[in-house]
C-alpha cells in the first residue's frame, strides 16, 4: 500500500448506517459509530500527518457537528458532484491520486473511486458500486468500517504494535 496522506470518507452509509431519523422539529439525526470516531482520534494522536475530509451528498448540521468534534480537516456538506471537492482537496494539499484513500458506498462516489490510489467500499454498497473499488470492508457502514480502514492504514506504516503501544501509554 502506498503511504496514504489523505483519507476521504462519504458520510451516509459509510460513517453511518445510512438511515435518517427526522425529529418533530424537522432536524435530522444520524447514528455514528464510536469505533470510527476513536479511529480518527488515533490518526491525530499518532502524528502520521494524514489529512482527513468528509464529502457528503446531504446537507446536515449533525454531520458538521460530528466532524468538528472529531477534528476532521475539511467537510463538504451537501455535495452531489463530489469530484469537484476531491479536486479541491488534491490541489489544496498538493497531493497525487495515489496518495489518497476514499471510502464510499453509492453511485455518486464512483467518479472518485476511479481516481484515487485506494478506493474502498462498504459491504452494504450495491454490487455495481463495489466493482469500482480495490477493497470492501468486512464491517458495514456505521458499524466500524472506517475504523477498519484506519487500522489498515496504521498497519501499513510498518509498526502497528508500536503504534498501539504508543496510544496505550498516552492513556495510562
Where in the chain are the domains? 6-171
CB contact set of 49 (below 8 Å; sequence gap of 6+)? 5
- Beta strand 100-104 with 118-121 is parallel
CATH number for the segment(s) 6-171: 3.40.50.1000
Backbone angles phi, psi at 87, to 5 degrees: -65, -35
pLDDT, tens digit, 9 for 90 and up, residues 43-66: 998 888 999 999 999 888 999 999
DSSP assignment, residue 109?
G
* 63-81 mean pLDDT: 96
Q: What is the pLDDT of residue 6?
A: 98
Structural Rg of the chain based on CA atoms? 15
Q: Above 90 in pLDDT, residue 168?
A: no
CB 49 within 8 A of CB 43: no
pTM of structure: 0.94
Secondary element (H or E) of residue 170: helix 160-171
* 7-13 mean pLDDT: 98
pLDDT confidence band for 1 (50 / 70 / 90): low
Mean per-residue pLDDT of the chain: 94
DSSP SS3 for 76: strand
Taking the C-alpha atoms of residue 29 and residue 23, their distance in angstroms, rounded to an integer, is: 7
pLDDT, tens digit, 9 for 90 and up, residues 103-127: 999 999 999 999 999 999 999 999 9
Q: Above 90 in pLDDT, residue 167?
A: no
- The residues pairing with 104 across neighbouring beta strands, listed in sequence order, are 121
Amino acid at each position: 500500500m502506498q503511504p496514504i496522506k489523505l483519507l476521504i470518507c462519504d458520510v451516509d452509509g459509510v460513517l453511518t448506517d445510512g438511515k435518517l431519523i427526522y425529529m418533530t422539529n424537522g432536524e435530522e439525526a444520524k447514528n455514528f459509530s464510536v469505533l470510527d470516531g476513536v479511529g480518527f482520534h488515533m490518526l491525530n494522536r499518532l502524528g502520521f500527518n494524514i489529512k482527513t475530509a468528509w464529502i457528503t451528498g446531504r446537507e446536515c448540521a449533525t454531520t458538521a457537528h460530528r466532524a468538528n468534534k472529531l477534528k476532521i480537516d475539511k467537510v463538504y456538506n451537501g455535495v452531489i458532484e463530489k469530484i469537484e471537492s476531491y479536486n479541491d482537496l488534491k490541489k489544496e494539499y498538493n497531493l497525487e491520486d495515489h496518495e489518497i484513500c476514499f471510502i464510499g458506498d453509492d453511485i455518486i462516489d464512483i467518479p472518485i473511486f476511479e481516481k484515487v490510489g485506494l478506493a474502498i467500499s462498504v459491504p452494504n454498497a450495491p454490487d455495481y458500486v463495489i466493482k469500482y473499488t480495490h477493497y470492501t470492508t468486512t464491517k458495514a457502514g456505521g458499524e466500524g468500517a472506517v475504523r477498519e480502514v484506519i487500522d489498515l492504514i496504521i498497519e501499513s506504516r510498518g509498526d502497528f504494535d508500536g503504534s498501539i503501544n504508543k496510544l496505550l501509554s498516552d492513556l495510562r
